[in-house]
């Protein structure tokens, strides 16, 4: 599905019946249906580009819980947004190792390029910028994610180059994973997780395996 088609919404605040069917499918995967709430909220974002009051109401109805209970979850986790994200979510890690290796400089340059502040949209509404406390990818610090796909070992310039390519509609591949699609497509993957994308790209490289190899070498020598 093209990005242009994905962002055409005739009824932007209505949860479609097809989405409700997927919600019921998710609920059926768990002994306690309430356990499906997290992927269901990702499914709402896949359809609406944010967690709306209509999405919260649909989750509550399908799980037979209160809207207050759904809201409590949707406002606790930072991956759930309450304003339209746009075509791409940009996350820049600024935690200890990434920060020491240039993460703050990357964030500042990206924020300037987008005209955005933390947890907010770009000037044109096509991007959403977030300062991330940790992306669990310290081996390749500093790290940036695009729609939660890794862009490893970035510099301020390489990070901006990625954004420029996305803005121009050019093809961009993640460092350890598939080609970048868009935020809503990734949200659908987080909800349903049945698209075979886990097999695409080099998920583990020599840099990530270095510590393991040293440990094994030491064990053999002892």
Distance between CA atoms of residues 61 and 41, nearest Å:
13
Give the per-residue pLDDT at 214: 84
Give the per-residue pLDDT at 222: 65
**Same domain, yes or no, for 134 and 157?**
yes
Give the per-residue pLDDT at 193: 82
**Same domain, yes or no, for 101 and 164?**
yes
Distance between CA atoms of residues 164 and 208, nearest Å:
28
**Same domain, yes or no, for 68 and 95?**
no
Q: Is residue 153 part of a domain?
A: yes
- The number of folded domains in the chain is 2
Run of H or E residues at 25: helix 17-27
**Same domain, yes or no, for 34 and 99?**
no
Give the per-residue pLDDT at 206: 77
Q: Is residue 105 part of a domain?
A: yes
- Identify the domain boundary among 22, 42, 76: 76
92 closest CA partner among 104, 76, 100, 79: 104
Give the per-residue pLDDT at 205: 74
Give the per-residue pLDDT at 8: 40
**Burial bucket for residue 184 (CB in 10 Å: 0-12, 13-18, 19+):** buried
- Identify the domain boundary among 76, 97, 129: 76
**Same domain, yes or no, for 45 and 123?**
no
**Same domain, yes or no, for 66 and 133?**
no
Give yes or no for a contact between 154 and 106, defined as CB atoms under 8 angstroms apart.
yes
The enclosing domain of 66 has a CATH number of 1.10.10
Q: Is residue 133 part of a domain?
A: yes
Give yes or no for a contact between 46 and 184, defined as CB atoms under 8 angstroms apart.
yes
pLDDT tens per residue across all 222 residues of the chain: 333 333 344 445 789 999 999 999 999 999 999 999 999 999 999 999 999 999 999 999 999 999 999 999 999 999 999 999 999 999 999 999 999 999 999 999 999 999 999 999 999 999 999 999 999 999 999 999 999 999 999 999 999 999 999 999 999 999 988 999 999 999 999 999 877 887 787 777 777 777 778 888 777 776
**Same domain, yes or no, for 54 and 93?**
no
Residue showing tokens 């053999």 = 220
Q: Is residue 219 part of a domain?
A: no
């Amino acid at each position: 599905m093209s990005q242009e088609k994905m962002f055409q919404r005739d009824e932007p605040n209505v949860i479609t019946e097809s989405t409700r069917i997927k919600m019921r499918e998710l609920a059926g995967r768990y002994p306690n249906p309430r356990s499906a709430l997290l992927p269901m909220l990702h499914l709402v974002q896949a359809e609406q580009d944010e967690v709306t009051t209509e999405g919260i109401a649909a989750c509550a109805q399908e799980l037979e819980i209160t809207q207050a209970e759904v809201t409590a979850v949707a406002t606790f986790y930072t991956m759930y947004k309450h304003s339209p994200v746009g075509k791409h979510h940009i996350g820049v890690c600024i935690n200890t190792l990434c920060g020491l290796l240039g993460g703050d400089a990357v964030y500042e340059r990206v924020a300037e390029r987008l005209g955005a502040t933390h947890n907010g949209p770009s000037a044109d509404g096509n991007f959403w910028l977030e300062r991330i406390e940790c992306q669990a990818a310290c081996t390749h610090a500093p790290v940036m994610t695009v729609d939660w796909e890794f862009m490893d070992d970035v510099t301020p310039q390489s990070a901006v180059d990625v954004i420029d390519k996305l803005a121009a509609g050019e093809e961009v591949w993640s460092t350890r994973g598939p080609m970048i699609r868009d935020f809503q497509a990734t949200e659908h993957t987080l909800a349903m997780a049945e698209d075979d994308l886990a097999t695409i790209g080099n998920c583990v490289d020599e840099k990530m395996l270095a510590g393991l190899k040293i440990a094994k070498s030491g064990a053999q020598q002892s």
